[in-house]
Amino acid sequence: MIQNLLIKNFALIEKLIVDFTDGFIVLSGETGAGKSIILDAISLLSGKRSDRESLFDKDKKCILESQLHLESDKEYLFKKHNLDFESETIIRREISPNGKSRSFVNDTPVSLSVLGEIVSSNLEIYSQNQSISLKSEEKQLNLIDKLADSRDLLNKYQTLFAEYNKLQSEINQIKNGKGLSESELDYLNFQIDELEKSGLRKGEKEALEEEYNILEHSTSIIENLSKVYNSISEENGINSKLSEIEIDLSKISSFSENLSNLHERITSIRIELQDLESEIQAQSESVDVNSDSLKVVSERLDHLNTLLVKHRKSEISELLEVLNDMQLKKSASSDFDKIIKEKEKEFFLKETKLKELSDKLRLKRKSICNSFQANVEDHLKKLGIKSPIFRVEITEKDIFTISGKDNVKFLFSANRGTEVSEIHKVASGGELSRLMLCFSYLVSEFDALSSIIFDEIDTGVSGEVANLMSEMMLSMSKKRQIISVTHLPQIAAKANTHFKVFKSENNNRTTSEIRRLEQSERVEEIAKMLSGKTVTETSINNAMELLSQ
């Protein structure tokens, strides 16, 4: 869920801070007020490409920042990218005047793709005429898998698929190694022997480089650690002064809670300082000043660097892979037929099992298609499309892929008697909007998204259809944050929280602003949405009635 959003120096926004709530939120405002700018800022935080033309002041950098509340099921993404997981995660993007961009997750620099992966796992923006979910086969298949609850089966398939690909690669390597000459085999044995005798270990080079730095600067390290230790532990040192402060505060700590807190904090600092004192002493005593040790470490590093240069690698782990490939090549050359036969037998077994799992996946996916099609058509009818036809077409591919052997296509026709075709080819903007809402509504029970943003997907609808759309959004907001940019009073009235986006003039320059509306302000805003700029008594009464429903 998006908890807050900071936008600084972006488009028409000089500085803007929004504190969002959970539940159903709407953003309203006149056309051109800046609603799309706020969504563009969120899109940039989701990994969208940027350029300097979007800056409010071209000579200053743009800062976009948001605090997200994440559930623990997102922790795997942070581990995947070696990031510290926080349930309250802060994401930030900075765009400099020269157009360069930097991204951060909890103050750790990350690539734009990593930022996008983390944010998109929690948030999706649906806008009229533009939805990846409606055009991408991958997204369509993912939607079907959520409805079919096939995640566990898909995970088993993907694990086996990785093993299958790895085995295929090994077989190709062995076949490429067939028929080595005697001289080639001798040289291969020499290289294998050299690497094996080197006793390579992952992470050894980095550890040795750190040890070398300590040994090379041992005298300076010991001198400075001694100075620090003396400053802490000597008779009138920091530790002694802190103890005096602690005693003085203890005498008055019972007089108030604030004084008691001060005493506790000083005590905590003193205990931490004592731990530091012991650790500094231990570090000082552990520093090796033996020149022979420096020589041994230096020689080992030289040997490892020589091997890395020789094999054109940068990591010890890569050298270990080279050794494994050489050993495989040697085995293939000396006992080619036997190894190939064993590997191909194993490959056939994996292929058979992979086919079995892909068939099960296809059956599971197809099992929900009829109900999915019927539910989509039913909701589309309620949303004002009189004779919709929606079909999910699943066919078998010739090869295995990461998601199985299935091709999926979403086919659609809005009119009876018209042949169905891929939805992004035949659906109008309004029809795409309603399809998006239907999909979002139907998968909301299965989706891990914590926030969904609808960007004016209600354009072109009114009356009962608008009312039903608002009910669907409200229902979805019971389990996730729903943010809707809307011009419809029926939708605005259903929201738990209402923000208004508007323009103002400061220092002869137009800027976009936003504020959360109180109940009386909501009545006036919804009345304007009903009747235009001129608010009448009738529109006020209608607005109050909508809000009371």
Contact yes or no for 451/480 (Cβ under 8 A) = yes
Q: Which helix (H) or strand (E) holds 97?
A: none
Taking the chain, what is the end-to-end CA distance rounded to the nearest angstrom?
27
Structure tokens, 330? 């040697």
Using alpha carbons, select from 18, 84, 25, 14 the residue that is nearest to residue 484: 25
Using alpha carbons, select from 205, 192, 178, 160 the residue that is nearest to residue 401: 160
Per-residue pLDDT of the chain (549 residues; tens, 9 = 90+): 899 999 998 888 888 999 999 999 999 988 888 888 898 899 888 888 776 667 878 888 889 999 998 888 888 888 888 888 888 999 999 988 887 888 999 989 988 889 988 888 888 887 765 554 566 778 788 889 888 888 889 999 999 999 999 888 888 877 775 656 667 778 888 999 999 999 989 888 888 888 888 888 888 888 898 898 888 888 888 988 888 898 999 999 888 988 888 999 999 898 888 889 888 888 888 887 777 888 888 889 999 999 999 999 889 989 999 898 888 777 766 666 677 788 889 999 999 999 999 999 999 999 999 999 999 999 888 888 888 999 999 999 989 999 999 989 899 998 877 888 888 777 777 777 788 888 888 887 777 778 888 888 777 677 778 888 888 888 888 888 999 998 889 889 999 999 999 988 877 788 889 999 998 899 989 888 888 777 888 888 888 888 887
Predicted TM-score (pTM) above 0.75: no
Q: Residues in the chain, how many? A: 549
**Strand, coil or helix: 410:** strand
Distance, CA of 273 to CA of 184 (rounded, Å): 63
Structure tokens, 370? 């009829």
